Amino acid sequence: MAAEIQPKALTRKPVLLQRVEGSQDVVNMAVIVPKEEGVISVSEDRTVRVWLKRDNGQYWPSIYHAMPSPCSCMSFNPETRRLSIGLDNGTISEFILSEDYNKMTPVKNYQAHQSRVTMVLFVLEMEWVLSTGQDKHFTWHCSESGQRLGGYRTNSGPSGLQFDVDTRHVFVGDHSGQVTILKLEQEHCSLVTTIKGHTGGVTALCWDPVHRVLFSGSSDHSVIMWDIGGRKGTAIELQGHNDKVQALSYAPHTRQLISCGGDGGIVVWNMDVQRQETPEWLDSDSCQKCDQPFFWNFKQMWDSKKIGLRQHHCRKCGKAVCGKCSSKRSSIPLMGFEFEVRVCDSCHESITDEERAPTATFHDSKHNIVHVHFDATRGWLLTCGTDKVIKLWDMTPVVS
């Protein structure tokens, strides 16, 4: 399995353990069943399936349950075996799975949204069910009574949802590229702040509660690491995909981030390194290296009798430069640029071979990934693709 975007051949790569096939439409979400060789999936074909590994080594459904509407998302709590399923009609349906994963018992339905549920989270510690919908609302319900506790309207359609149990902060990413941070109480919420760094919509969120870091993936092909706990406003950009980032997962024991995208790429980022923020791009009417005017600077062009040049920016120092003064390209992994990017000539000379050492590995899943789930205890990664296939990977060769 050769990587398409890494120039050097990889000596270590994920091992494909199993392909789980049988869904009639896109599998929107799936999870690995802890301590079992099983998978729970929900699909656009309106089915909920629990796949268990049989004696012949293949995964077959032990549960096949048809829902009244396409299944858009899910949340599974292994301790209680509670399965919360978000539907296209705005309903969240809750079930309890039997110990042998051969039966699912209906518990209750929440009329949570006016349209498709985009994300759902069950929080055992608070006995809350959190959800977002295409109706531009975030809501939360009491899982015991089924009562709606509160809600918040976002400016754009929500597409990512994470929750911190210790502080009761909820993170809602939306299609405008913004992440809204709310503080939840029992029956009301308050806006803490909003953060925005993406030029495209937020497509995935991932929260590290130990280091208090939030990761956001976007349709602009990038991942941003937000230092929420450090209170310094640090935002580290990671550039490693050729298409929109679709899903994120985090391995806390090794401090590695797994990002997957529409390009089929699985990128494993080493977050246990001292990364640097990308500089703000500076404004200037002339090249900050050779002082040649840019094409809109008519006065200097007339005074110097020179033709105006196109403006570029060095990705390392942020200075506005002309093409002649930024003819070199270099990767800057500690700034998140695993691919070669434009740098000015002086910065190119200052970058050492050590600074060019990659901090991420690249792998090809050979399908357009829409969702991932990582089982840290076994080092297994589950990927769902637009090809209706679920793949199970042994990630221990690269996540260690």
Contact between 332 and 351 under an 8 Å Cβ cutoff? The reply is yes
Let me know if residue 239 belongs to a domain. Answer: yes
Which has more pLDDT, 300 or 60? Answer: 60
> Which token pair is 352?
């050492």
pLDDT surpassing 60 at residue 5: no
pTM, two decimal places: 0.87
pLDDT surpassing 80 at residue 43: yes
pLDDT surpassing 50 at residue 151: yes
Confidence of residue 131 (pLDDT cuts 50, 70, 90): very high
Let me know if residue 293 belongs to a domain. Answer: no
pLDDT surpassing 50 at residue 10: no
Let me know if residue 224 belongs to a domain. Answer: yes
Shared-domain flag, residues 309 and 165: no
Shared-domain flag, residues 351 and 365: no
Residues 6+ apart with CB under 8 A from 7: none
Let me know if residue 235 belongs to a domain. Answer: yes
Structural domain range at position 46: 15-277+361-394
Confidence of residue 276 (pLDDT cuts 50, 70, 90): confident
Instruction: Count the domains in the chain.
Output: 2
Environment class of residue 375 by beta-carbon count within 10 Å: exposed (0-12), middle (13-18) or buried (19+)? middle
Predicted pLDDT of residue 1: 33
Shared-domain flag, residues 233 and 109: yes
Please name the amino acid found at residue 246.
Q
Confidence of residue 309 (pLDDT cuts 50, 70, 90): confident
Predicted pLDDT of residue 261: 92
Let me know if residue 64 belongs to a domain. Answer: yes
Predicted pLDDT of residue 303: 67
Shared-domain flag, residues 110 and 244: yes
DSSP state of 54: -
Convert the pLDDT of each residue in 136-150 to its tens digit. 999 999 999 999 999
Residues 6+ apart with CB under 8 A from 397: 12, 13, 14, 15
Predicted pLDDT of residue 142: 95
Shared-domain flag, residues 368 and 350: no
Convert the pLDDT of each residue in 67-119 to its tens digit. 999 999 999 999 999 999 999 999 999 999 999 999 999 999 999 999 999 99
Convert the pLDDT of each residue in 334-390 to its tens digit. 888 988 999 999 999 999 888 888 989 999 999 999 999 999 999 999 999 999 999
Confidence of residue 20 (pLDDT cuts 50, 70, 90): very high
- What average pLDDT is seen over the chain? 91
Convert the pLDDT of each residue in 209-231 to its tens digit. 999 999 999 999 999 999 987 65
Let me know if residue 124 belongs to a domain. Answer: yes
